Amino acid sequence: MASHRRPKQPSRMRVTVLTATAAAAVALTAQTGAQAAPAKPKIDEVKSKVDELHHEAEEATEQYNLAEERRGKLQDEIGNLQDKVARGQQELNTLRDQIGSVASAQYRSGGIDPALQLFLSADPDTYLDKASAIDQLSAQQADVLTSIQAKQRTLAQQRAEATTKLADLDDVRKTLGEKKKKFQGKLAEAQKLLNTLTAAEKAKLAEEERQKEQRASRAAGDRIDLGNEVPANGL
């Protein structure tokens, strides 16, 4: 008859090792779970961060509005300058036609004045720098050439000013894009935080915000009433 042996009990060392392994596995699982699912922010933390983001978005919006106002002014100034340049160019063309008519009349009468011929073959500014040539012109011709010279200087200045303002306008447009991107990003970040809240938490925040606005409105009304009070002495 076969003898019955008692089952061999696990040694104390094996039990200790298995227990330690199981504990380590539980700890590792808990650690992994914590890394995979970060702790949900508290409602007060969300509210504080959302308020901060909204404040930053408001500042960026104000800067955007200022840049937009600057853009509008620059466009108006550039439009006015371009109109002035167009009118000035037309006036300059008229003056040149006048001097051209004088040249044609002199040609028909037997030849062109040497001084006028010098003008037609050179820049008016260079021409007027030569005093000896001016002496040979009639008073009318000298007045016309002087007007041409002044008009050319004015046009050059207006074109340079318009070019500068166009560069400023380009910078302002870039600033507008940056500011718009900034405040939209802040608002999106705030909305992302709000989306982590439950419906009850969102309702609580909305109610707190409504009460805050009511208190601010009452405070503003009180200040207005105080400002309109008439002194007791009637002065």
pLDDT at position 20: 38
d(CA 123, CA 134): 14
Pick from 79, 67, 71, 78: nearest CA to 164: 78
pLDDT at position 14: 38
The CATH classification of domain 42-109+146-205, taken from the options 1.10.287, 1.10.150, 1.10.405, 1.10.357:
1.10.287
d(CA 198, CA 194): 9
Pinpoint the alpha helices (H) of 109-138: 114-120, 124-128, 131-135
Contact 163, 44 (CB under 8 A): no
- Count other C-beta atoms under 10 Å from residue 78's C-beta: 18
pLDDT at position 40: 67
What is the mean pLDDT of each successive set of 10 residues along the chain, which is 235 residues long? 47 38 40 53 81 86 88 89 88 80 59 57 56 55 79 87 89 87 88 85 83 82 59 50
Q: Any idea where the domains of the chain sit in the sequence?
A: 42-109+146-205
d(CA 132, CA 213): 82
pLDDT at position 127: 52
